[in-house]
Structure 1
Amino acid sequence: MPIYDYNCRACGHPFEALVRADGTPACPQCGSTALDKCLSRIAPAGKIEAIRMAHRRVAAAQGHLDHYSASDKAKLLQGKKNI
């Protein structure tokens, strides 16, 4: 299910929506289905890995290490030492 950016024609509200193949999104502000699909901005390639590792460090700090590979656990624990 992709996330799309929309702009509501009725009220002008910009928003993102997770859209199923059989679903029609509606504006969360006014409920209108008269929407324009917009182009989404992409994340800069160099920042994606840093963002992903930051989110994993937060999960590790909360004790959610059981679903990571051994190499990922080692990276996370090494990152915690640098904080």
Structure 2
Amino acid sequence: MPLYDYHCPACGHRFEALVRTGSTPACPQCGSSALERQISAPVPPGQSKSIIASARRQAAREGHLSNFSKAERGKLG
């Protein structure tokens, strides 16, 4: 199910909703189904060195080494 952003012109409420194919969402504030689907701005994944290091440590613990280069995999073990 995709997550969409909606704007309700009837009451001005903005919200996100998980929508199944073929279903019509309703405004949680006023119940109107005449909604405008908004373009969602994608959020890039965290790029700080500490976040990347933490994700790599977790991946190594779980045995997923695809996010390491060949040189880095050689140093692991």
TM range (shorter): 0.5 to 0.7
Q: Which amino acid aligns with 1:34?
A: A
Higher helix share: 1
TM-score (ref. length: structure 2): 0.60
Q: In the TM superposition, what is the alpha-carbon distance from 1:22 to its structure 2 partner?
A: 1.9
- Unaligned 5+ runs, structure 2: 55-60, 66-77
Percent sequence identity is 54
Q: In the TM superposition, what is the alpha-carbon distance from 1:49 to its structure 2 partner?
A: 4.8
- Structure showing greater radius of gyration is 2
TM-score (ref. length: structure 1): 0.56
Query: Runs of 4+ in structure 1 displaced over 4 angstroms?
Result: none
Aligned length: 57
Q: Which amino acid aligns with 2:39?
A: L
Confirm or deny that 1:23 pairs with 2:16: no
Query: Is the partner of 1:37 in helix, strand or coil?
Result: strand
Structure 2 residue aligned with 1:40: 40
